[in-house]
A and B are shown apart, each in its own frame.
Chain A
Amino acid sequence: MEIKVKAKVIDQEGLQRTISRLALEIVERNHGVANIAIVGVRTRGAFIAERVVKRIQETEKHKVPFGILDITLYRDDFRKRLRQPLVQVTDIPFEINDIHVILVDDVLFTGRTSRAALDALMDFGRPSSIQLAVLVDRGHRELPIHADYIGKAIPTSIGEEVQVRLMETDGEDCVLLVEAPKEVN
């Protein structure tokens, strides 16, 4: 499939800086790191979350609890699929009751993924608060959801797509604005 790249909106250095800033804001907003945990949404959100955790550790000399959430089972487009997507393990190795959980994802778009992630997280307990951190907010919300931390807001048209490419999954660090591939059925 041919993907037409329209612009590189964040490059490698920019990505590092953005993540550092997100880490800083999280610490600042929560007055430290005492009562927070970071949970990333599979797949790319988890890697971004991991980097945020690492950045916080570098500056604060404290490793905040870190978990990974797979939201496949909470999606609302379930019955529209012919075959079920692979489910991966959710790994939250700590109690989430009475702490501030920062949910990390790569792109905030319609809000449906975040809604699913919130539902999934709630099934693990009752956190004091849940805050949402995203690398990119591209608009077009379909649900009343907003992010508490935004790496970069990128206005897009519906025919465009934001691709976050990470070392861990794609071999490079950058964010691209591409033309949405045509639906092939």
Chain B
Amino acid sequence: MPLQQKHLLGLEGVSAEDISLILDTATTFREILDRPIPKVPTLRGLTVVNLFYEASTRTRISFELAEKRLSADSVNFTTSTSSVKKGETLKDTIRNIEAMKIDMVVVRHQAAGVPRFLTQCVDAAIINAGDGMHEHPTQALLDMFTLREKFAKLQGLRVAIIGDISHSRVAGSNIRGLKAMGAEVMLCGPKTLIPRDVEKFGVQVTYDVEDAIAWADVLNVLRIQLERQEAGLFPTLREYHAEFGITQQRLERAKKDITIMHPGPINRGVELDADVADAEYSVILNQVTNGVAVRMAVLYLLSGNEESVS
């Protein structure tokens, strides 16, 4: 069964079959990355634009590598223009870029819904590389890929997502994807950073990080942003670390095997202690490698050309 999506806007509504297909395909691409020549000619002649309205080093590099490993031509459009009102509108920008004959757009934007908006502006396949506080589907896919690599299956796995859930698109996509795959999800963070009515996703919520550790097989630890402190949502990074930080002591107290994930970049000593991040039970670097394979799989599966089939 081929992929039932033309775009990858998020994991909401994406079936377990589609997610499995992406992860299975990524397994193949993961193997390519270990070859002497880690490159295949598959997407030769295809042009991908990486449209990044928000500073991001690792996601952009990961997509760019995925594109290059598939022999696609890729172009970067990076702008840090924070004011969406100034200058050219998003619609004009994307239509101008499309007029240069491009096939796919990878987009990151600070506003939720931008990838969907772009599907209304152009015909190219759109891949969401993070929109506001909404979704970041490829990150969740690579997280699930990494977990599947370690645990063989996601069904029944207990994943606790720790941190600023409200502002996290990583959480947004992980919750949807993990639930679709039959995993159990618990959210943990300061009450000020847990979004309203989030239980309706079918997840548990706790404000006690030790409860989450005791319950979970996996901790997916999110980056805490200083600007949330500045917005008055928690008092200090110091207190955040004391109450929600993942430390060696907390893990030892739980007396169990646990897997640590983090979407990066890590604030060492804030949400995650350095020794935990570098421990053998941490799969953080596997996540990074797998990210390229998962993005290759997504690019490949969405690259079908409808026009040439009549």
Query: Which B residues are CB-close (under 8 A) to A70?
Result: 28
Does B255 sit at the interface, judged by CB under 8 A?
no
Query: Which A residues are CB-close (under 8 A) to B21?
Result: 86
Asked whether B304 lies within 8 Å of A74 as measured between CB atoms, the reply is no
Query: Which A residues are CB-close (under 8 A) to B29?
Result: 87
Q: Mark B44-69, 1 if CB is under 8 A from A, else 0.
A: 01100000000000000000000000
Asked whether B3 lies within 8 Å of A80 as measured between CB atoms, the reply is no
**Interface with B: A5-13, A104-112, A118-126, A159-167, which one?**
A118-126
Asked whether B31 lies within 8 Å of A82 as measured between CB atoms, the reply is no
- The residue of chain A having its C-beta at the shortest distance from the C-beta of B28 within the complex is A87
Asked whether A79 lies within 8 Å of B309 as measured between CB atoms, the reply is no
**Interface with A: B34-42, B157-165, B274-282, which one?**
B34-42
Assuming the contacts A119-B41, A123-B40, asked whether A84 and B28 have C-beta atoms less than 8 A apart, the reply is: no
Does B197 sit at the interface, judged by CB under 8 A?
no
- A92→B304 CA distance, assembly (Å): 28
Chain B interface secondary structure, helix, strand, loop or mixed? loop
- For B, the interface residue count at a CB cutoff of 8 angstroms equals 30
- A125→B303 CA distance, assembly (Å): 28
Q: Mark A41-79, 1 if CB is under 8 A from B, else 0.
A: 000000000000000000000000000001011100011
The minimal Cβ–Cβ distance linking A83 to chain B, given in whole angstroms, is: 3
Q: Mark B200-233, 1 if CB is under 8 A from A, else 0.
A: 0000000000000000000000000000000000
- A123→B40 CA distance, assembly (Å): 8
Assuming the contacts A73-B40, A84-B300, asked whether A89 and B31 have C-beta atoms less than 8 A apart, the reply is: yes
Q: Mark B285-310, 1 if CB is under 8 A from A, else 0.
A: 00000000000000011011110111
Assuming the contacts A73-B40, A82-B304, asked whether A90 and B3 have C-beta atoms less than 8 A apart, the reply is: no
- A72→B303 CA distance, assembly (Å): 14
- A92→B152 CA distance, assembly (Å): 22
Q: B residues 180-215 with Cβ under 8 Å of A? A: none
Query: Which B residues are CB-close (under 8 A) to A90?
Result: 28, 31-32
Q: Out of B27, B301, B305, B308, name the residue touching A89 (CB < 8 Å).
A: B27
Asked whether B35 lies within 8 Å of A124 as measured between CB atoms, the reply is yes
The minimal Cβ–Cβ distance linking A124 to chain B, given in whole angstroms, is: 6
Query: Which A residues are CB-close (under 8 A) to B37?
Result: 122-124
Asked whether B25 lies within 8 Å of A87 as measured between CB atoms, the reply is yes
Asked whether A73 lies within 8 Å of B42 as measured between CB atoms, the reply is yes
- The residue of chain B having its C-beta at the shortest distance from the C-beta of A81 within the complex is B304
Asked whether A123 lies within 8 Å of B39 as measured between CB atoms, the reply is yes
Does B2 sit at the interface, judged by CB under 8 A?
yes
The minimal Cβ–Cβ distance linking B14 to chain A, given in whole angstroms, is: 16
Query: Which B residues are CB-close (under 8 A) to A125?
Result: 36
Query: Which B residues are CB-close (under 8 A) to A78?
Result: 42-43, 303
- The residue of chain A having its C-beta at the shortest distance from the C-beta of B3 within the complex is A83
Asked whether B35 lies within 8 Å of A123 as measured between CB atoms, the reply is yes
The minimal Cβ–Cβ distance linking B30 to chain A, given in whole angstroms, is: 9
Query: Which A residues are CB-close (under 8 A) to B41?
Result: 73-74, 119
Asked whether A80 lies within 8 Å of B28 as measured between CB atoms, the reply is no
Assuming the contacts A79-B45, A90-B28, asked whether A84 and B40 have C-beta atoms less than 8 A apart, the reply is: no
Assuming the contacts A87-B25, A87-B300, A89-B28, asked whether A80 and B309 have C-beta atoms less than 8 A apart, the reply is: yes
- The residue of chain A having its C-beta at the shortest distance from the C-beta of B36 within the complex is A125
Query: Which B residues are CB-close (under 8 A) to A73?
Result: 28, 32, 40-42, 70, 300
- A81→B46 CA distance, assembly (Å): 14
Does A88 sit at the interface, judged by CB under 8 A?
yes
Q: A82-B305, A84-B303 are in contact. List 14 more A-B contacts (CB 8 A).
A: A73-B70, A74-B41, A79-B45, A80-B308, A82-B304, A84-B304, A86-B24, A87-B29, A89-B28, A123-B35, A123-B36, A123-B39, A123-B40, A185-B310
Q: Please provide the 8 A-B residue pairs with the shortest distance between their CB atoms, ordered closest to farther.
A: A83-B2, A73-B40, A73-B42, A123-B37, A82-B309, A87-B28, A83-B304, A82-B304
Sample (22) of A-B pairs whose CB atoms are under 8 Å apart: A72-B42, A73-B41, A73-B70, A78-B43, A81-B305, A82-B2, A82-B304, A82-B305, A83-B3, A84-B303, A85-B2, A86-B21, A87-B29, A90-B28, A90-B32, A119-B41, A123-B36, A123-B39, A124-B36, A124-B37, A185-B309, A185-B310
Residues of A within 8 A of B (CB): 70, 72-74, 78-91, 119-120, 122-125, 185
